[in-house]
Amino acid sequence: MPVISYIEAVTQAIDEEMNRDENVFVLGEDVGKRGGVFQATKGLYEKYGENRVIDTPLAESAIAGVGIGAAMYGMRPVAEMQFSDFMLPAANQIISEAAKTRYRSNNDWSVPLTIRAPFGGGVHGGLYHSQSMEAIFANVPGLKIVIPSTPYDVKGLLKASIRDNDPVIFFEHKRAYRLIKGEVPETDYVVPLGKADIKREGTDVTVITYGLMVHYALQAADKLAQEGISTHILDLRTVYPLDKEAIIEAARKTGKVLLLTEDTKEGSVISEVAAIIAEHCLFDLDAPVRRLAAPDAPAMPYAGPLEHAFMVKPEQVENQIRDLAEF
Amino acid sequence: MSVEQMAMPQLGESVTEGTISQWLVSVGDEVKKYDPIAEVTTDKVNAEIPSSFSGKITALLVGEGDTLPVGEPICAIEVEGTEPAIEKLAKSTSAARNLTETEQQDTSMKKRYSPAVLRLAQEHSIDLETLEGTGRSGRITRKDVEQYIASGQATDKIQKKEETTSEQPGAACFSEAVAKAASKPTPAPRQYQNEAGDHVVALTGVRRAIATNMVRSKHEIPHAWTMIEVDVTNLVNYRNQIKGTFLKKEGHKLTYLPFFIKAIVAALKEFPRINSTWAGDKIIEKKAVNISLAVAADEALYVPVIKNADEKSIKGLAFAVDELASNVRENRLSPNDMQGGTFTVNNTGSFGSVQSQPIINYPQAAILSIESIVKRPVVVNDMIAIRDMVNLCISIDHRVLDGLITGRFLARVKELLENINPENTPIY
């Protein structure tokens, strides 16, 4: 099985879906000739032409709006927000239109739109290129929010998102793009939306997380295994709506839960995970549920040392797991 | 002099690794800060890496063409005059280790149970006191309990715990167990079929405690039994003579019981071995003489204690007996009223019994029952006389007591009772 990078898995998934279904098309800033600022749509313009790989103006509201309209008419648009930080001008389209159309039209209309958006920090991106935006959309019924952690999941989940008949926001971690590599089958497969995945079986501490943090947890788990601490890691993969069953099962497995996100702490996706555990797992808990997240500060700083201080670090993950194991 | 390491720098957003395409220095070269030392290729850019230090290159850690993550060391440079970073690290680690060691002595979390631990303990009837905690500050973790259950010790340990309690010197007794009854696990009873018309009586906590303690006493204590008969004609006459005045003056009825207790207590002082307890590898003779008194209620039997019975007069004993009896009737007994007994007196005579085989009030060494006083023809000085006779029955722990000492004790009680008169047994 070929080993490819996270971003190559993005390109492969879009390519395969465009090839499979002529209704699939790509739109976004610089996605055409340039192949995207991160090169996620590299080669697609040459392969499928300017009618199916469309460069748009710098207007996120329009990218989302055009996508919604096209989707309502039976197309399957894959819209790219160049950075998730720039999604907010499109928030009205996404929250008030895309998410509500099926409900509002009593099932007559639907919006099979996929919005891809690179997110996350630790890439020296400063205030406007480092944010985690998932929590802003993760309380809007009608939306699905997917955040894959591995190239395998990227391909399978992106294909599932494109084929899904309702709007999906697909967040891709910028730092994972070239850092994370993994085996990805060349065959056509999908990974179901709404299903979390156990990335590592363990018995001492459960870590529930998503995105790049899955890898921090895996790294920490490897180190801790040498100390005899066994870590169970659940990758949420879809952060809205959450896979409650998998969360409850993972929390019950060890009774000691560390929730991990790169986002700022209050009101983050993991806060909702904590609430699910509190509602369902009281008599299985052996320690207070713990959250590790970025500080509740307005933004990721630009200065290197400050960015480093702001980001959740692998050593912190390791220390928190150890602390819980020893509790 | 110290050796510093240069790391793969981050050259642009989303760049997480780089490839050394060419080294611009070799080992032994002197470099100044900001001098280019290598050329690096990434997905996005080709760039030169400037040196972060002035010094001598001592090692190139990666070869040309190697790809490595941002932050990984690429070469070592010998620099003058800074403290080696490694030593600092070592210091702080050892400090941290010391901290952990002191923490392990601490058991302040031993009794902080998490919901998971409490649930498991309840489901498997585990006494958490018997478990060792491996968590921080001695906390018992869910894993500790799960391992304990997996090891199959759960049920064994309950029994072992009961054995150890039984070996505790003196302190525990049946009556205390009544107070603790609710929390004690009892073995599952056999299944009985009830037939039509049977009345099923649900067990009260007290009934259950009585059952548990009777079984324990009979299981653990090798009972031996003996009986003597005592001529209490003198006592009967004495008591008949004063009971009217006593009632008038004191407002309490004067029964025979205080006289019996008085004689028993006096004999116990002379034979402390009777007033003792089996403690596994030793026998403990109790200094205090605290008489447990079996008092029947409608549905249960209580054994409240007359503390320091050896310090009480006949009147004092009469009042104490009355108070305990009314406390039992009015359900006012406190756990404290039932603790600390060293010898039990059972007034079976009040039911008309003339003979009984009492079960020892665990962990005491003996129990004595006073039967009915009945008029019987007996031979006195080779003549037949009508006398007031009473049987005293005693059950003993044969681990502690033998027939000889028991016989001497009973003989002394008999002697004291038969010789009661106003001169040697004042009421006050």
User: Are A174 and B143 inside 8 Å of each other by CB?
Assistant: no
Reported confidence tier of residue B171, pLDDT bands at 50, 70, 90: very low
Q: pLDDT tens across B384-397, in order?
A: 999 999 999 999 99
Reported confidence tier of residue B187, pLDDT bands at 50, 70, 90: low
Q: What does the pLDDT average to over A220-248?
A: 97
In Å, how far is B348's CA from the nearest CA of chain A? Answer: 51
Helix, strand, coil in percent for chain A, rounding step 5: 40, 20, 40
Q: What are phi and psi of A20, to 5 degrees?
A: -80, -40
| Residues within 8 A of A (CB atoms), B 84-123 only | 114-119
Rounded Cα distance between B254 and B317, Å, is: 10
- SS3 sequence, chain B? CEEEEEECCCCCCCCCEEEEEEECCCCCCEECCCCEEEEEECCCCEEEEECCCCEEEEEECCCCCCEEECCCEEEEEEECCCCCHHHHHHHHHHHHHHHHHHHHHCCCCCCCCCHHHHHHHHHCCCCHHHCCCCCHHHCCCHHHHHHHHHCCCHHHHHHHHHHHHHCCCCCCCHHHHHHHHHHCCCCCCCCCCCCCCCCCCCCCHHHHHHHHHHHHHHHHCCEEEEEEEEECHHHHHHHHHHHHHHHHHHCCCCCCHHHHHHHHHHHHHHCCCCCEEECCCCEEECCCCCEEEEEECCCCEECCEECCHHHCCHHHHHHHHHHHHHHHHCCCCCHHHHCCCCEEEECHHHHCCCCCCCCCCCCECEEEEECCCEEEEEEECCEEEEEEEEEEEEEEECCCCCHHHHHHHHHHHHHHHHCCCCCCCCCC
Percent of chain B with pLDDT over 90: 41
Higher local confidence (pLDDT), B204 or B308: B308
Judged against a pLDDT cut of 60, whether residue B119 lies above it is answered with yes
At the second CATH level, the architecture of B106-166 is: Irregular (4.10)
Cβ pair B2, B82 in contact under 8 A:
yes
Q: Catalytic positions of A, please?
A: 129
User: How many Cα atoms occupy the beta-carbon half-sphere of B270 within 13 Å?
Assistant: 14
User: Are B14 and A326 inside 8 Å of each other by CB?
Assistant: no
Residues 6+ apart with CB under 8 A from A180: A5, A6, A149, A150, A151, A212, A215
For testing contact with chain B, the best of A83, A283, A320, A322 (most B CBs within 10 A):
A283
Q: How far is CA B120 from CA A280, A295, B145, B150, in A?
A: 17, 37, 7, 12
Locate the domains of chain A by residue range: 3-183, 197-326
The domains spanning A3-183 and A197-326 adopt the same CATH topology = yes
Q: pLDDT tens across A118-169, in order?
A: 999 999 999 999 999 999 999 999 999 999 999 999 999 999 999 999 999 9
Q: pLDDT tens across A29-53, in order?
A: 999 999 999 999 999 999 999 999 9
Q: Does domain A197-326 have CATH number 3.30.1360.120?
A: no
Reported confidence tier of residue B366, pLDDT bands at 50, 70, 90: very high
**Within an 8 Å CB–CB cutoff, is residue A248 touching chain B?**
no
- Lowest mean pLDDT: which of A70-74, A210-214, B163-167? B163-167
Structure confidence at residue B8 (pLDDT)? 86
Residue of chain B nearest A302, judged by CA positions: B13
Q: Which residues of B touch A124 (CB under 8 A)?
A: 10, 12-13
Q: Which residues of A touch B116 (CB under 8 A)?
A: 255, 283-286
Judged against a pLDDT cut of 80, whether residue B284 lies above it is answered with yes
In Å, how far is A118's CA from the nearest CA of chain B? Answer: 10
Judged against a pLDDT cut of 70, whether residue A203 lies above it is answered with yes
Work out the angle between the directed axes of helices B257-270 and B314-329 (0-180°, nearest 10). Answer: 120
CATH code for the part of the protein at B2-87: 2.40.50.100
State the residue for tokens 């085989």: B357
Cβ neighbours around B307 below 10 Å, total? 18
Structure confidence at residue B183 (pLDDT)? 47
Structure confidence at residue A160 (pLDDT)? 98
- Lowest mean pLDDT: which of A69-73, A323-327, B178-182, B238-242? B178-182
What's the token pair of residue B255? Answer: 């029964």
What's the token pair of residue B139? Answer: 């906390």
Q: pLDDT tens across B219-228, in order?
A: 999 999 999 9
Structure confidence at residue B91 (pLDDT)? 47
Structure confidence at residue B153 (pLDDT)? 72
Q: pLDDT tens across A95-117, in order?
A: 999 999 999 999 999 999 999 99
Residue of chain A nearest B121, judged by CA positions: A283
Structure confidence at residue B163 (pLDDT)? 44
Residues 6+ apart with CB under 8 A from B426: B313, B314
DSSP A175-215: THHHH-EEE--SS-----TT--EEEE--SSEEEEE-TTHHH
DSSP state of A237: S
Nearest CB to A38; choose among B14, B115, B136: B14
User: Are A327 and B14 inside 8 Å of each other by CB?
Assistant: no
* Average pLDDT value for chain B: 83
Q: What does the pLDDT average to over B189-204?
A: 74
Locate the domains of chain B by residue range: 2-87, 106-166, 205-418
Judged against a pLDDT cut of 90, whether residue B170 lies above it is answered with no
Using a 10 angstrom Cβ sphere, with 0-12 exposed, 13-18 middle and 19 or more buried, the burial of residue B174 is buried
Rounded Cα distance between A297 and A266, Å, is: 10
In Å, how far is B10's CA from the nearest CA of chain A? Answer: 8
**Closest alpha carbon to B343 in B367, B307, B313, B316:** B367
User: Are B143 and A123 inside 8 Å of each other by CB?
Assistant: no
Judged against a pLDDT cut of 80, whether residue A294 lies above it is answered with yes
What's the token pair of residue B282? Answer: 């030793």
- State the amino acid at position B275 in one-letter form: N
Judged against a pLDDT cut of 90, whether residue B47 lies above it is answered with no
Q: How far is CA B263 from CA A292, B120, B293, B421, in A?
A: 75, 53, 15, 12
Structure confidence at residue B221 (pLDDT)? 93
The dihedral through the CA atoms of A250, A251, A253, A254 has a sign that is positive
- Lowest mean pLDDT: which of A85-94, A101-110, A265-274, B73-82? B73-82
In Å, how far is B117's CA from the nearest CA of chain A? Answer: 7
Rounded Cα distance between B100 and A174, Å, is: 39
Cβ pair A197, A237 in contact under 8 A:
yes
CATH of B205-418, one of 2.60.120.260, 3.30.559.10, 3.40.250.10, 3.40.50.720: 3.30.559.10
Judged against a pLDDT cut of 80, whether residue B168 lies above it is answered with no
**Closest alpha carbon to B262 in B301, B223, B291, B227:** B291
Reported confidence tier of residue B154, pLDDT bands at 50, 70, 90: low
Judged against a pLDDT cut of 70, whether residue B13 lies above it is answered with no
Using a 10 angstrom Cβ sphere, with 0-12 exposed, 13-18 middle and 19 or more buried, the burial of residue A120 is buried
Work out the angle between the directed axes of helices A269-280 and A244-254 (0-180°, nearest 10). Answer: 70
Judged against a pLDDT cut of 50, whether residue B88 lies above it is answered with no
Structure confidence at residue B210 (pLDDT)? 85
The two beta strands, B383-397 and B374-380, are antiparallel
Q: What does the pLDDT average to over B40-62?
A: 83
Judged against a pLDDT cut of 60, whether residue B207 lies above it is answered with yes
Structure confidence at residue B251 (pLDDT)? 86
Structure confidence at residue B95 (pLDDT)? 46
Q: How far is CA A86 from CA A27, A121, A133, B306, in A?
A: 15, 14, 10, 85
CATH code for the part of the protein at A3-183: 3.40.50.970
Rounded Cα distance between A217 and A233, Å, is: 7
**Within an 8 Å CB–CB cutoff, is residue A324 touching chain B?**
no
